[in-house]
Amino acid sequence: MTDDARSAAPAVGRSGLTMPHAPTLEEVARRAGVSRSTASRAINGGLKVSPAAQAAVDAAIAELNYTPNRAARSLVTRRTDSVALVVPEPDERVLTDPYFAGTLQGITAALDPTDIQLVLLIARRGEEAKRTTRYLLNRHVDGAVVVSHHRDDALDQVLHDSRLPTVFVGRPWAAAGDVAFVDVDNEHGGRIATEHLIKAGCTRIATIAGPLDMAAGLDRLAGWRSALHEAGLSDEAMARGDFTSAGGAAATERLLAAYPDIDGIFAASDLMAAGALSVLARHGRSVPGDIKVVGYDDLGVATSTAPPLTTLRNPVVEMSRAAGELLLAKITGGDQEVVPRIFHAELVVRESA
Amino acid sequence: MTDDARSAAPAVGRSGLTMPHAPTLEEVARRAGVSRSTASRAINGGLKVSPAAQAAVDAAIAELNYTPNRAARSLVTRRTDSVALVVPEPDERVLTDPYFAGTLQGITAALDPTDIQLVLLIARRGEEAKRTTRYLLNRHVDGAVVVSHHRDDALDQVLHDSRLPTVFVGRPWAAAGDVAFVDVDNEHGGRIATEHLIKAGCTRIATIAGPLDMAAGLDRLAGWRSALHEAGLSDEAMARGDFTSAGGAAATERLLAAYPDIDGIFAASDLMAAGALSVLARHGRSVPGDIKVVGYDDLGVATSTAPPLTTLRNPVVEMSRAAGELLLAKITGGDQEVVPRIFHAELVVRESA
DNA sequence: CTGTTAGCGCCTTCAA
DNA sequence: TTGAAGGCGCTAACAG
């Protein structure tokens, strides 16, 4: 064993102060009285290691408070033990949306039993987006979960072509059938919401749609449409929103101006519904008396509005957790069938409708 | 130059399909007609590199779409080019709070001009927390930003002792004066809020306090107290909340039961204020007629309540951005003075008070 | 079951 | 200004 001066003296940082020297495998092995390889084997799986050696290594690890150097390990295993959460959207909108928080929570839960770290990738447009793409393509992570995906970020194609293990939260645009994803049945949700309004006696039902370059926006709108068609009602009263409260408020103003006689509104998100409520209050329309309102998501805001919102419970956390687990399976298990897992939204009735 | 078979054939993944082979520095150098060292120098800073060589390397990089392998680089530079955002809280609460979204946005903005990645560390209690601590201590990141820090997670001490560059968002408990942090003047904010209620004619002013094991909770409470003392009013009517809407609602119920004659409420967060509004409505108390309400944060929810909340604008994004920039400075600049940056919250008057 | 031996891709002295 | 050579800490054959 060559005596290495480096391992004797603690490293000295820029400041000139001694820095705690992270223990290496070498030191663990030495302390355990075994070779590096044996120590390594004891750490990874422990196969073909005698109980004695295993115990010695375990003890050394505990005493030294050792953690493997990820960089060194990555270099040889060609795995990074990290996955990316890709958010292809610049603005505060996404981050502020409780939907995003739910996603984070679900994925974190899925990753929890592993030692895999979550790297956040906010993929701004243009030049920035290219940087993100390159980062992903050059395998700086073992896989990616994409959330809040829009039609024109070519993320689905790019990631599909790259063969980087990827799972979308929410149906991707292109390459469907070939790209793994989890989703809720948004069309069904939109239909349920609208049917609830119909059953409650509404006959002039408007919708505040989400962004139509997102699958969720499109699908919920389609659900609203099909319920109205089935009931023989008009599907004229549609205004686009952007999933934000302000957008919902603006859309409501437009709806009231164009269709003053509406008696029901299906908003494609609770945030937009909240915006609608405030505008309706300002216009002196009572809810649910004059106009009934149904939202979508039930991620917290629905209970803090006045009146509380009837809405569809969007199982975001469960869904994202499934996405995380699916990704884990893809990473460790290699390619396997991509059967999208579809969750269902449930109607939660409160005062607003 | 030894001919390496590996670089000729694309790697084959588990699935048996060819995988895109990430280009290496070796390939860039070969293509540019220079040595690895020159290529490396051209990539990092470009000092002592002839314009011709520089250009050749740049071209090769572009053609190959090359990105340095972070693991290999980390191994030798002993930097990871990643920083952690540490959230020492298990529950959904934190993630759902718009405060967290703001933090994320601010830090992301600070990191944007660099190539540093953000790693999310959700530090659950107990065993999990130890794993997080070890991860941090063993320098798997170059630095850390800690948000939503509680008294009993010993994060401040641990991180301070470890000498890992760290910045707290919100005043840490221990080691103050020695640990870098950014904060808003919460006591001042609490005072302003309360003074607004006093000026509006309230004389029996309650507060819904935040968690008292968090600096923000404590400081806002202190501000409320001092304003009341100054005005010669009672500071009896206090109920604890937990920064959530549900907690705010419960606290309000308790307040109304114990102090039925209150005419003003200062809630230490908008979420709690929203909960208060719904309870007040249920009890038939009009806002601001019977009871005036002031919240704290103005991160979106204040405008979607009925009535919209008078509140204190908490500059979370700016503050977190400052935290990120401070961290960057600490990482690159070595130890430097720790002058906490204190931001100020501004009163935003809306209908509720 | 264990130790020896080679690199993983990159940066960095050291000579030229 | 450039290239050759060594090594960061770890895993993975390959012998024993």
Instruction: List the single residue in B72, B299, B301 with the smallest CB-CB distance to A75.
Output: B72
Nucleotide nearest to B29 (CA to C1'): D3
Q: What local confidence, expressed as pLDDT, does residue A74 receive?
A: 93
| A108–B245 C-beta distance less than 8 A | no
Selected residue with higher pLDDT from A151 and A89: A151
- Taking C1' of C12 and every protein CA, the nearest residue is B37
pLDDT at A153 (0 to 100): 81
Partner residue opposite B119 with nearest CB, options A119, A134, A304: A119
Yes or no, beta carbons of A299 and B17 under 8 Å apart: no
Choose the weakest-confidence range: A117-126, A142-151, B50-59, B319-328.
Answer: A117-126
Q: Which of residues 182-221 of B touch A (CB under 8 A)?
A: none
Low-confidence winner among A251-255, B135-139, B324-328 (lowest mean pLDDT): B135-139
Span CA (B332) to C1' (D11), Å = 32
CB contact under 8 A, A140 and B70: yes
Chain A residues whose CB is inside 8 A of the B308 CB are 278
B252-279 pLDDT, tens per residue? 999 999 999 999 999 999 999 999 998 9
Q: What is the pLDDT of residues B304-328, one digit of tens each?
A: 788 899 999 999 999 999 999 999 9
From B136, B132, B42, select the one nearest B82 (Cα to Cα): B136
CB atoms B335 and A17 under 8 Å: yes
CATH 3.30.450.370 fits A186-313, yes or no: no
Residues 58 through 77 of chain A touching chain B, CB cutoff 8 Å: 65-67, 69-72, 74-75
Residue nearest to nucleotide C6 (CA to C1'): A76
* CATH of region A3-77: 1.10.260.40
Mean local confidence (pLDDT), B55-60:
94
| Helix, strand and coil in chain B, % to nearest 5 | 45, 15, 40
Domain A82-184+317-343 and domain A186-313 have a common topology: yes
**Residue B335's pLDDT band (boundaries 50, 70, 90)?**
low
Q: Where are the domains of chain B?
A: 3-77, 82-184+317-343, 186-313
Q: Which nucleotide is nearest to A138 (CA to C1')?
A: C9
Which pLDDT does position A20 carry in this prediction? 59
Distance D9 C1' – B37 CA (angstroms): 22
Q: Above pLDDT 70, what percent of chain A?
A: 91
Distance, CA of B83 to C1' of D13, in Å: 35
To test the contact with chain B by mutation, choose from A304, A317, A338 the residue with the greatest count of B C-beta atoms within 10 A, namely A304
B45 confidence band (pLDDT: 50, 70, 90): confident
- pLDDT classification of A150: cutoffs 50, 70, 90: confident
B2 pLDDT more than 50: no
Q: What is the pLDDT of residue A336?
A: 66
Q: What's residue A238's pLDDT?
A: 98
Average pLDDT over residues B145-162: 85
- The reply to whether B98 touches chain A by the CB within 8 Å rule is yes
User: Cβ of residue A203 near strand C, that is under 7 Å?
Assistant: no
Whether the pLDDT of residue A75 is over 70: the answer is yes
Average the pLDDT over each of B18-27, B82-91, B136-145, B305-314 and give the range with the smallest value.
B18-27
pLDDT digits (tens, 9 = 90+) for B92-114: 778 888 888 899 999 999 998 89
Q: How far is CA B84 from CA B87, B88, B135, B345, in A?
A: 9, 12, 10, 27
pLDDT at A319 over 90: yes
> Cβ B163–A69 below 8 Å, yes or no?
no
Q: Do B306 and A277 touch (CB under 8 A)?
A: yes
* Contact with chain B for residue A10, Cβ under 8 A: no
Whether A93 shows a pLDDT value over 80: the answer reads no
Which one-letter DSSP state was computed for residue B21?
P
Average pLDDT in the A222-236 region?
A: 97
Residue A176, pLDDT score: 60
pLDDT digits (tens, 9 = 90+) for A37-74: 999 999 988 778 899 999 999 999 999 989 899 999 99
CA of B233 vs chain A CAs: smallest distance (Å)? 30
Q: Do A334 and B14 touch (CB under 8 A)?
A: yes
pLDDT (0 to 100) of residue A155: 83
Lowest mean pLDDT among B7-21, B108-122, B135-149, B158-172: B7-21
Residue A137's pLDDT is: 84
**What phi-psi label fits residue A241: left (phi over 0), alpha (psi between -120 and 50 degrees) or beta?**
beta
- Rounded CA-CA distance A225/A231 in Å is 10
The band of B175, judged by pLDDT with boundaries at 50, 70 and 90, is low
The yes-or-no verdict on residue A307 having pLDDT over 50 is: yes
Would you say residue B339 has pLDDT above 90? Answer: no
Residue A177 binned pLDDT confidence (cut-offs 50, 70, 90): low
Q: Which pTM does this prediction carry?
A: 0.88
Helices (H) and strands (E) in chain B — how many of each? 13, 12
What is the distance between the terminal CA atoms of chain A, rounded to a whole angstrom?
Answer: 77
List B residues 121-180 in contact with A (Cβ-Cβ < 8 A).
Answer: 121-122, 124, 128, 134-135, 137-140, 162-163
Model confidence at B21: pLDDT above 80:
no
- Note the pLDDT of residue B344: 96
Does the pLDDT at position A111 exceed 70?
yes
Residues of A in contact with B317 (CB under 8 A): 92
Nearest nucleotide, C1' to the C-alpha of A40? Answer: D11
- Counting residues of chain B whose pLDDT is more than 90, the rounded percentage is 65
Contact across the interface for A71 and B70, Cβ inside 8 Å = yes
pLDDT of A19 > 80? The answer is: no
- Strand C proximal to A40 Cβ, under 7 A: no
Of the partner residues A65, A71, A305, the one whose CB lies closest to the CB of residue B74: A71
- Nucleotides on chain C that have an atom closer than 7 A to a protein CB are 1-5, 7-13
pLDDT at A334: 64
pLDDT of residue B16: 35
For residue B1, pLDDT over 70 is answered with no
Contact B246, B279 (CB under 8 A): no
CB contact under 8 A, A72 and B75: yes
Predicted confidence band of residue B91 (pLDDT cuts 50, 70, 90): low
Q: What number is the average pLDDT over the span A301-327?
A: 92
Q: Are B274 and A304 inside 8 Å of each other by CB?
A: yes
The whole-number pLDDT of residue A12 equals 36
Chain B residues touching A295 at Cβ < 8 A: none
Q: Which of the two residues, A339 and B329, has the higher pLDDT score?
A: B329
Report the pLDDT value the prediction gives residue B314, as an integer from 0 to 100: 96
Range A82-184+317-343 has CATH code 3.30.1650.10:
no
Instruction: Give the distance from residue B99's alpha carbon to the nearest chain A alpha carbon, in angstroms.
Output: 9
Distance measured from the CA of protein residue B75 to the C1' of nucleotide C12, in angstroms = 13
Check: CB of residue A160 under 8 Å from CB of residue A178: yes
